[in-house]
Structure 1
Amino acid sequence: MIKNLAFLCLIFVLISSCGFRSRCNNAAGHYKIGNSYTINGVTYHPKHCNHYEEIGVASWYGMEDHGTLTANGEVFDRNSISAAHKTLPLPCFVLVTNLENGRKLVVKVNDRGPFVKGRIIDLSEKAAKILGFHKSGLAKAKVQYLRKMSERLVQKAPHYKKQYEKEMQKRHPKQNSAESRGYVAFFENAQTAKSAASKLRNQGIKNVRLLFKNDRYCVKVSYK
């Protein structure tokens, strides 16, 4: 009887494990910035960014959310190296430094949170263990956005890249026919195009648009 019960428990564990791996394989996730949203009376504004660095309290989440979908459609695994942030693009990479012991870890952000005042990032259980604050639950930490690594992640994954381009088009819509005339410069790299557009705006030039057209990024200065 005991042997039979042990065998059934083993079968249950194996089936559960296979089911979890299947969900992970089927949920590749998607690139997302997202619209503004309000939690507990506080409004957050997700946005594309070139630079982000903040010091605050880091926390972690694990068993209660294990196997659920993250904000960008991936399956949360408490044993993976991942995190939740309130406004950064999803997915992206950040460098987290535990300022209490000096430990550092590069983490993939694929979820939203934490929604507690003063907390700036919610790490997976494994990430918290590596950074050395699993038992205490909280730690003073520094979070730094890794732009180049994040952009490589998006550019190398076709489904991420396509969704990123749609986000760019949504935030920089095409002009109507009355504004369609102007000077255009094409770029193969998104960051180079954004840098060129930023320089033009800093020089006081108006009607500068960043578009994606014919598989290339273009900076357009329009006139009526």
Structure 2
Amino acid sequence: MRVIVTRPHLSGHRTAERLRQRGHVPVVLPLTAPTHDVLAARRALEKPYGALAITSAEAVRALSKLEDGLDPHRAATLFTVGKATAAAARNAGFTAARSADGSGVELAALIADHFARHGTPADPLLYLAGRPRAAGFERALAETAIAFRTVECYHMLPIDHDPDDLRQTLVERPVDVVLFYSRENVERFFSLPVFLRDQAALSRTRFLCLSRNIANAVPPQFDTQIGVAASPEEDDLLYLV
């Protein structure tokens, strides 16, 4: 099957390789590109914190640009949203990474449980975040009365693709599957100008989403073409392809 991968370049090519190994034809179509705010990350880590939290491997990539400046923090307790993010953190040298099951609400629950069993730190949790981002994690933290501060250490900026390239990729050749990993990319995908003229090109396409929250951003006319992963992990998403 011909599968459109809407992830940023680096993670998108990793996903493409997994699809290729399964016999599919992946097409990486990044809709955003990251820019890292290394200064913000450095300043955030200079202030006292009780533990770290991240909801994307992109935060790990931003932190890694601190190089030796990250060394004093690699043993800090680090809470991550899912297995892939935890693996990225461990590969970057973090030795105390703990993983939730893929959602911000579950991550907040993991942190609350850990603090209940081991004691709440005197200093706030430091959430190293991106922009844009879902509000679920911060909302859940606030509901559990966990003290935290959020610092944006990366931004995802939209990519302007050439309209002719998009038409060749998405209209002139049939698309069997589109993979979505965020609500923002769902909204960007369906806002591409090529679909204002040729939305019929998607009439047989399946839209596979990492979570129900992401799927809710797909336009209602495609409801019958949506698939949702059993858990917010890429393994479960690719199982649907």
Instruction: Calculate the TM-score normalised by the size of structure 2.
Output: 0.23
- The structure with the largest helix share of the pair is 2
Which protein shows a greater Rg? Answer: 1
- The structure with the largest strand share of the pair is 1
